[in-house]
Chains A and B, each alone.
Chain A
């Protein structure tokens, strides 16, 4: 048992924190109001080497139980917490393949990986990928997706709507999940890489959201959209052995601890603001009974954030060791999201009107953090995942 960061991780933590404090925080409120970070800033970050890669865990090794000394997942969650402390929507806005990356890496052929990852290698340009799973009628119940894919010669014809797609409008391509036969359930699912400009593929509305406003969230429309069979992820043969649904879910085992780490980062930002406010506003005046109440509340916020961080580290450490961590990843996501929400609520409570007006970042964090209990599996979905591993015989939900 050891909780010491490696020198490399200590570097990541310090550098990312420096960046978050000095480069990201100053732009945070304006980006929230303008609903995007300036491209020039994103390019500057890219040239500094800050891309999604810096906060994105490497894939788990295919062979479960094989021990590797790799630190990738642990380093990633440490960096993600610091970035989110700066601004969480920036992480989602950084150029790169995004959530579309893991399915291509896990399932794509070598040719597909080369073709779709190529744009991200270009130094002077901004490129995004995206991940299209959720539909208006299929959110948590992704197995019930309704977008159809009909084989027609060398093409599949896609029809349907995708919603809440991060970077969906500006992405070069989107990994779209569709079904070749709804009656087959999960076995009928296929993953396609649909490229921007493909006829029949268009952007619907851009969502106006409660929080994470600087991150683009788009609706995507597929109307008789013809996608060449070369863009069927992994090629046709792999779907005979496995199914697209598994590809969709694998993405989340890798990213849940990362998302949980971001929630911890947002919560920590709010906690620190509230603590500093209390230091000035309460400690000088010291109305004792009220002071003690605030003091105990701050203590609890600090304690629960640390607890959440340890769950995140544990899930990440297991991933690095190649141990199955689905349960632990979901525990970290469910717990961290819950704690971070409560901490932002409590931070506003501690600061009162000042939290809502004078220090607008706190109200922003309160708005930003809510979605961490919703995206990449709601808190309820996480509990289903955990319960299925606690009760292996459960078939009813």
Chain B
């Protein structure tokens, strides 16, 4: 039955996330962008809510709530502060990829302790020098099955704080075959292999509170167990599943960001006086805000629809994820840009949060994939019915960041 109502349990998650986001994340966002550090106690407060494992299966210590619950929580968190949302502990994108590409034993071995300790994972996807059609970072398999990894990965979100990295590589097997593969590399200060080094990237447009780093691998030797594998599906199928899920999560954060901006613009327009009355009384402003609020509804609709498709194993889930990411990223840019416009000069200065949100909308667009690429994927499905990893996956040349 078509319904947009959410269950009582989900309402509870939503309310908890909203309170946490509005009372703890929002007020801390501006300072954290400057300092790059989290306020004391924030990490613990987040972990106590259980959101780190919200959508992870109960088998690895998660709450087993599915993507439908996660998008509701992520929207709320991002409506508080997006960079701080990304900086919260937990497996994050690492967990989604690990579940999609690894087997149960690997997921259990790595994710359970990470959740118990409140640690975080990171994903190393983008090669510093991209190689078309595959990954540039290369792992060579030795006769004993061990792997020697070399390469340079950029855009690794909070890589230096992660206890594990998931690295996408080009694998040269001992039998001579060459194919893409995913490896898990320990990266905590005390377990990190000596050939792994991190260096900070320039601050960039936004996300000072959740910085990206460059990870350099020099003859890093890993046991064969480091390679993720599942007997029941190929890396290709797993990657599209993970890309889809991460797209939906990323899109939900864009909804939160856009909602915050639209609501701020609405409140400002109701209050700010010009020509003797609140500026909302002018249709030029009122219509603009009506469009922004409509756009947020549109974005949320596609995100929730896509989450439902994954939770119910619908065959077109990846296609719906592409709708969601395209709409959310395009929409967040439009909404935050126009929110700054509504505030005028006040929108341009840092006394108000909207300029920060506008920068973040653009920076966030680089996560997973730009909206035009998502539209291209839908078009390809419409015309040719299927996607292939080599032609359609968000490969390194697109410079996607994995959050």
Q: Residues on A close to B: CB < 8 A?
A: 1-6, 9, 71, 74, 275, 278-279, 282-283, 292, 294-300, 302-304, 306-308, 310-311, 313-314, 316-318, 321, 328, 331, 334-335, 380, 382-384, 386-387, 390-391, 393-397
**B interface, over-half SS:** helix
Partner of A1 from B281, B308, B376 at Cβ < 8 Å: B308
B297/A331 in contact, CB under 8 A? yes
A-B CB contact pairs (8 Å), 18 listed:
A1-B308, A2-B2, A2-B3, A3-B305, A4-B1, A6-B1, A278-B383, A295-B379, A296-B372, A300-B375, A306-B320, A307-B298, A386-B294, A387-B283, A387-B286, A387-B290, A390-B266, A393-B270
A331/B294 in contact, CB under 8 A? yes
B323/A295 in contact, CB under 8 A? no
CA distance A383 to B269 in the complex (A): 16
A299/B375 in contact, CB under 8 A? yes
B365-393 interface (Cβ within 8 A of A)? 372, 374-380, 382-384
Given contacts A307-B301, A383-B290, contact A317 B2 (CB under 8 A): yes
B9 to chain A, nearest CB (A): 12
Partner of A394 from B281, B302, B377, B383 at Cβ < 8 Å: B281
Q: Which residues of A contact B323 (CB under 8 A)?
A: 302-303, 306-307
Q: Which residues of A contact B379 (CB under 8 A)?
A: 294-300, 302
B383/A298 in contact, CB under 8 A? yes
Q: Which residues of B contact A5 (CB under 8 A)?
A: 2
CA distance A314 to B305 in the complex (A): 12
Given contacts A2-B2, A5-B2, contact A283 B290 (CB under 8 A): no
Looking at B4, B305, B322, the one whose CB has the most chain A CB atoms below 10 A away is B4
A124 to chain B, nearest CB (A): 36
Given contacts A278-B383, A390-B266, contact A306 B297 (CB under 8 A): no
Closest to B6 in A: A1
B291 at the interface (CB under 8 A from A): yes
Closest to B309 in A: A3
Q: Which residues of A contact B320 (CB under 8 A)?
A: 306
Closest to B68 in A: A1
Given contacts A1-B4, A295-B383, A387-B290, contact A306 B305 (CB under 8 A): yes
Apart from the given pairs A6-B1, A299-B379, 17 other A-B contacts in the complex at a CB distance below 8 Å: A1-B3, A71-B1, A275-B382, A295-B383, A296-B376, A307-B302, A307-B327, A311-B298, A313-B2, A317-B2, A331-B293, A335-B294, A382-B290, A390-B289, A391-B281, A393-B270, A394-B281
B5 at the interface (CB under 8 A from A): yes
Closest to B285 in A: A387
Q: Which residues of A contact B384 (CB under 8 A)?
A: 283
Q: Which residues of A contact B281 (CB under 8 A)?
A: 391, 394-397
B192 at the interface (CB under 8 A from A): no
A245 to chain B, nearest CB (A): 21
B213 to chain A, nearest CB (A): 32
